[in-house]
Amino acid sequence: MTTRSILIVEDDQETGSLIARYLRGHSFSVDLVPDGRAMDRHMTQNRVDLIVLDITLPGEDGLSLCRRLRVVHPTPIIFLTAKSDEIDRIVGLEMGADDYIVKPFNPRELVARINAVLRRRPTATVGSSGGTTKRLTFDGWLIDLRLRELRDPGGAKIALTSAEFELLQVLCERHGRVLSRENLLGMTGRLGFQRSVDVLVSRLRGKLDRVEGVSMIRTVRAGGYVFVPEVNDA
């Protein structure tokens, strides 16, 4: 079994070292860097399965780093911060974070959240012919469940965070059905609050909808959301 690689971006050396030591004790491979520049250097040379990212950093802050990473990297991100206001959590999710944990925290909670996010990484579904998982199509779009890729009708790859991909997969597999926010949180296995679903839906709409005023994900008043297009196996 491959050891999962965690990158901690934390400028407080004592805090970062404590977290790193605890995660190593739970069989993770862990590297610690103090800022965004060091993070960039590390990621050009090493495989990273998940980033634990402090929001308050010298130079470029965690929110800006997350927004920049999301342009080119699908690597899951868990924000680590002393800020506890719900608005900060929402901003973090809007930037593309997969989860959010507030200092001070129990290290076991961080391990549980890391494991929960990593469990949602791609896994292949092997069929009788030895092939891998199916692909789905809707309105000319293609979603590959093994590669966790979304391509538009022109074939261009659309960058999705792991949270966005999981939500889109749930919606596609249950197209035409009204799903409440509670349903969506449960089906994606996410630790979070209902407002996070609204944030993710908004982000997906921004990437999927090409005609102003027409959305693939329709809001149902007092109900939740429904994925409108017909979805078929590719």
Least Cα distance to 166 among 189, 147, 183, 182 occurs for 189
**What is residue 138's three-state secondary structure?**
strand
135-233 folds as: Arc Repressor Mutant, subunit A (1.10.10)
CATH 3.40.50.2300 domain range(s) in the chain = 5-119
* pLDDT tens sequence for the chain (234 residues): 578 999 999 999 999 999 999 999 999 999 999 999 999 999 888 889 999 999 889 999 998 898 888 776 778 899 988 766 666 667 777 777 888 888 888 999 999 999 988 887 644 333 333 344 489 999 999 999 888 899 999 999 999 887 888 899 999 989 999 988 887 877 776 545 567 788 889 999 999 998 777 899 999 988 899 999 999 987
Q: Which residues of 133-146 are buried (b: 16+ CB within 10 A; e: fewer)?
A: bebbbbeebbbbbe
Q: What pLDDT, on a 0 to 100 scale, did the predictor assign at position 193? A: 57
Q: Considering only the top CATH level, what class is 5-119?
A: alpha beta
Q: What pLDDT was estimated at residue 6? A: 96
Determine the pLDDT at residue 99. 85
Closest to 173 (Cα-Cα) out of 125, 116, 113: 125
Region(s) of the chain under CATH 1.10.10.10: 135-233
**According to the model, what pLDDT value does residue 38 have?**
95
Helices assigned H by DSSP within the chain: 13-24, 36-45, 62-72, 86-95, 107-119, 162-173, 181-188, 194-208
Q: Which two tokens stand for residue 24?
A: 């190593």
pLDDT at position 181 is 85
Amino acid 127: pLDDT = 34
- Per the CB < 8 A criterion, the answer to whether 16 and 31 are in contact is no
The torsion angle over the Cα atoms of residues 95, 97, 100 and 104, rounded to 10 degrees, is -80
Round to whole Å and give the CA distance between 167 and 177.
14
